[in-house]
Every structure is written in C-alpha cells, then in structure tokens.
Amino acid sequence: MFKKYRSLLYPLLLNSVLLPQLKADKPLISPRLIELLKQQTPETLKNGIEIRPGDEEMQRGVLEGDDLLIDKAANALKGNNLVSQYAKIDKLRVKGDYQNANKLLDICGKTFFQKPDDPNPLPPVSGVGMTCQQILAGNYFLDGNLKDWGKILHFVRNVYYPPIRKISGLEQFSLTDIEMGRLSVSPDSIPLFTITGIDHQQSIPLQYNVQIKEDHRRFAENVPSAMISLNRKEVPFFLETGAAIGKLPKAWSHSPHVHIIGHLDRSTNAASEFFSGDLGIVDELKIGKAVLKNVPFLFTDVSQAYLGLMILQKLGKIKIDKQQMTFGKDINCNCQQDIHLGSALGGDFQTLKYPITWQGKTSLVAIDLTEDNSDFTLWTFKPDFTKEEQETTFQFPTKENNKTVLSQGRIVKSDLSIDGINYGVREEFIAKDTIQDPATIMGLFILNKVTLYLDFINHKACLKPNNSDATPISQ
C-alpha cells in the first residue's frame, strides 16, 4: 500500500497552463512536500505516490460513497478550511455531481483555497494542488470526458513532474492516479461523448438467456442483459452497475468504427476484479431510440459486452425492474434520497451503493447487476477473520491467475431489511481476501419486490414497489 498524504499538507497554487514566475526568495516546491517524498523508497516513487485529501476516514467515505462518513471526518477537523473544502468536493463526487465539484476544483487551481492577503502563500508545487488535479482528472474520467482527462494527465506530467524529478532522490517520482492510464493521441483530437434521444422515456426489455462466463471472474447465470446496437450490430450488454467504464472484448477493437486512443493500466469493479487494456472510442451505441456518439470503452480480457456507470448516467433517469429498463429525462422518480457512488480518486473504480439494514446495522453495499445472488444474498470480502470467526470458516475452491486454489470463507445468517421492507432471514458469504478491497456486494436480489430508480440528473436514488410510479418507499 502506497503512502497516503493527508489534507494537512499545503494547498497548491496552480495556473491553468504554466507555473508562475517566482520571486527569488520564494520556493517553487513546498519544502514539506519534498521532505515527505524523500521518506519514500525509489520503488515506491516509481510505482506511484498516493497524495490524498483528508484522513483515512474521509478517503473511506469517498470509496464507500458515504457522505455521512465524509462529514464525520471533516467535523473531526472542524476549523480547518482546507479539509472543509475537500469535504464539499468529495460530497459532490459521491453524488455524481461532477459539474459543481469541478467548479470548486477550479477555485483550488486558481487560489488554492487561500485568501489573496494570506501572509503565507503556498508554493506553486505542493501536495494539495496535485490532489486537486488528481480529483479533477478522476471526475473527468468518470464523466466520460476523456479529452479533459487527457489534458490533466499531460499537465501534471509536463508541469509538476519535471521540477520534482530534478531533486536528488526523487528522479522516479510519479502519482499513482495520474499513472492509471495514458493517451496515445492528442487530447484535442478526442471527440466529445454525446447522447441524443432521451427527452422522453422509453423502455427496453431485459433478457436472461446469456450467461456471464469469464475465465477471471465469477460465473453468473441469471443476470439481465439488454440488446443494444453497437455500430449497427445488435449485441447483448450486461448492466455493470459496479464499474465505471464499459468493457468490450479485445478482438472487437479491430473494427473500423473503433478508434484506440490510449491504454488503461488498471480498472476495477465492485468485486475488485482487475482489468487493463486499450482505451477506445466507439463511433455509435444505440440504446432504444437513444443515440450515443464517441463512446469510451475498455477493450480487455472479457468475452462479452458490459455497460458501466459512465454510460448509464448519460441516460438521465433510469428505472430498472427484472423485466425492463426504462430511461429518459421525463421519468418521475420522486426520490428524496441522494444517490451513492463509491469511487477511487483517479476514477479507475466506481460502483453504485445502496443502504441496507443487516445484523441490526445500516450500511451501504455495492449494487452489481452482473451478480445473480443464486447462492447467497450478500458477498463480503475482508482481509482477515477474528479468532472467533476463524472457528466457523471452511475452505472453498477459487481461481487465481488461472489456477484453482483453496480460500477461506464463512456464512452468516441474519434478517435483511431494505428501505423498511423485511426480506426475512438471508445468507451472507464472507470470503477472506487480502487483494480485494473490503466490500459487501448485492446483485440482482435488490430488484426483488421493488423497482430501482436512479436519477442521474438530480443525483437521487430510491426504491418503489414493483409496477408503481407512486410514492417511494420511505427512506
């Protein structure tokens, strides 16, 4: 795990194009930043430093999509203006409100959240400025804006990296979130990702005749897919609400309607399944009457097609039950609860989250509609078991690097309640896994008895009884 620098680092004065001219007695780089970087090994510097806003709890809030956890972390440092600004940005990020989050990040880039008469103006290169740039890059990526994402990567690598790498011992310096991928073309050559045809709601049927059978991920038999036109060819797509970018098989990248623009070194989903591959732009995707142009996809080691949140959010408002997906700007969602989107700072991970009550406690779980819940209602990954938990574990076979290995797991039973509806006693499978990020996942079971409403325009989400457009289930 790379070193995490907390938000008590200094803000960064950042110009939009070049670092400003400095007075002779003003340092270019924050001395505190240099001190922290020199504590790292050359290998860590080369692999990528993680400079993060806030403390561990605030970062957990962003990863979990938990605005209450973000508030709790910010309140613990009440009076710190920088932490307060980060908390505002993070709370907008977890709702998917990138536009307003980016307005605050623009202020960070111009003023570093400092007043003009601050007696201790920060140097142009410091931890907080780089943090703001990393968050901004992540926001652009999650929003499907690869042009501006690429510009941020170019800026950081060409403006921040050189002066730091001139310092003895820091020659290998890099930022892990900036190094998640790179472009092979000029950012200005990347066309805008657009959508038309969603002014009025429409429905497309969901089918269950295609299985998920991938070498490196869980098998799923009864999960929904939708027939979608990919460059005028009908293809079944799975609804991967546990991932940011959509995925397509590598071989499909050779189409004349696909334009490779770079490479992603890492992309993960709700189950922490790892992917890498070519980053490409697809000419056209048609979902019902909606037409999406210049659609970003990751071409990787999958044999089937997956829609991620990057695409689903473009549909405006969505309601999903087990029979169909309805979308369009004029859907009356009437949701009062904020949507929860957990994500990594750089944008390589994102998942939809929803609150459930399990074992008497309310918490957010990842919703992954590529998981069928055929064996267990909940899947949880955790790095270790307590001594008491260890006594009830058992071994089970799993695949790791295309080899079958034995892993440890245990089963917990409890009453499950979602938005006040009691689903009775259900089972949770808990697997010991030190690689995957600790997370709890629910799949298609979320659609039992209810319809899921996702309002990406107003950043809300809720459940309603099936076949009803009436009042949502009480939050």
Binning the chain into helix, strand and coil, the percentages to the nearest 5 are 25, 35, 40
Q: What is the pLDDT of residue 436?
A: 60
Q: What is the pLDDT of residue 17?
A: 28
| Higher per-residue pLDDT: 309 or 47 | 309
Contact between 58 and 74 (Cβ < 8 Å) = yes
Q: What is the pLDDT of residue 438?
A: 65
CA separation (Å) from 467 to 20, 40, 321, 451, 471? 59, 57, 9, 8, 12
What is the distance between the alpha carbons of residues 182 and 157, in angstroms, rounded to a whole number?
11
User: pTM of the full predicted structure?
Assistant: 0.91
CA separation (Å) from 198 to 12, 98, 143, 193, 453? 40, 20, 17, 15, 16
Mean pLDDT computed over every residue of the chain: 89
The CA R_g of the chain, rounded to the nearest whole Å, is 23
Q: Which two tokens stand for residue 152?
A: 């941020």
245-278 pLDDT, tens digit each? 999 999 999 999 999 999 999 999 998 889 999 9
- Is 473's pLDDT higher than 50? no
Q: Which amino acid, 275?
A: F
| Higher per-residue pLDDT: 169 or 52 | 169
357-374 pLDDT, tens digit each? 999 999 999 999 999 888
135-181 pLDDT, tens digit each? 999 999 999 999 999 999 999 999 999 999 999 999 999 999 999 99
Percent of the chain predicted with pLDDT > 90: 72
Lowest mean pLDDT among 1-5, 417-421, 470-474: 1-5
Q: Can you tell me which residue has the tokens 């006040």?
A: 420
386-405 pLDDT, tens digit each? 999 999 998 887 766 667 77
Indicate the domain borders of the chain. 4-180, 194-316, 340-465
Q: Which two tokens stand for residue 261?
A: 């623009």
- Residue partners of 162: CB distance under 8 A and separation at least 6: none
3-class SS of residue 200: coil
pLDDT band at 25 (very low <50, low <70, confident <90, very high): low
Q: What is the pLDDT of residue 272?
A: 82
| Higher per-residue pLDDT: 469 or 381 | 381
Percent of the chain predicted with pLDDT > 70: 90
Q: Can you tell me which residue has the tokens 């990528």?
A: 48
Q: What is the pLDDT of residue 216?
A: 66
Closest residue by Cα to residue 295 from 313, 307, 286, 283: 283
| Higher per-residue pLDDT: 469 or 131 | 131
CA separation (Å) from 41 to 36, 47, 162, 207? 11, 10, 19, 52
| 403, HSE (Cβ side, Cα atoms, 13 Å) | 4
| Cβ atoms < 10 Å from Cβ of 437 | 17
Q: What is the pLDDT of residue 113?
A: 84
Q: What is the pLDDT of residue 437?
A: 64
Q: Which amino acid, 203?
A: S
What is the distance between the alpha carbons of residues 424 and 190, in angstroms, rounded to a whole number?
51
Burial of 382 (0-12, 13-18, 19+ CB in 10 A): middle
352 pairs with which residues across the strands? Answer: 341, 367
Q: Which two tokens stand for residue 382?
A: 């955790």
pLDDT band at 80 (very low <50, low <70, confident <90, very high): confident
Contact between 319 and 325 (Cβ < 8 Å) = yes
> CATH says 194-316 is which class?
mainly beta
89-143 pLDDT, tens digit each? 999 999 999 999 999 999 998 887 878 888 888 888 988 889 999 999 999 999 9
293-342 pLDDT, tens digit each? 999 999 999 999 999 999 999 999 999 999 999 999 999 999 999 999 99
What is the distance between the alpha carbons of residues 40 and 217, in angstroms, rounded to a whole number?
34
Q: What is the pLDDT of residue 158?
A: 95
Q: What is the pLDDT of residue 111?
A: 80
- Are the folds of 194-316 and 340-465 the same? yes
Give the distance from CA 177 to its chain's centroid: 12
CA separation (Å) from 188 to 15, 181, 466? 19, 17, 46
Q: What is the pLDDT of residue 20?
A: 42
Domain 340-465: which topology? Cathepsin D, subunit A; domain 1 (2.40.70)
- Residue partners of 443: CB distance under 8 A and separation at least 6: 220, 223, 367, 368, 369, 370, 371, 372, 373
Q: What is the pLDDT of residue 236?
A: 98
Q: What is the pLDDT of residue 406?
A: 80
Q: What is the DSSP string of 140-199?
A: HHHTT-HHHHHHHHHHIIIIIHHHHHTSTT-TT--BTTGGGEEESS-GGGSPP-EEES-S
Q: What is the pLDDT of residue 400?
A: 66
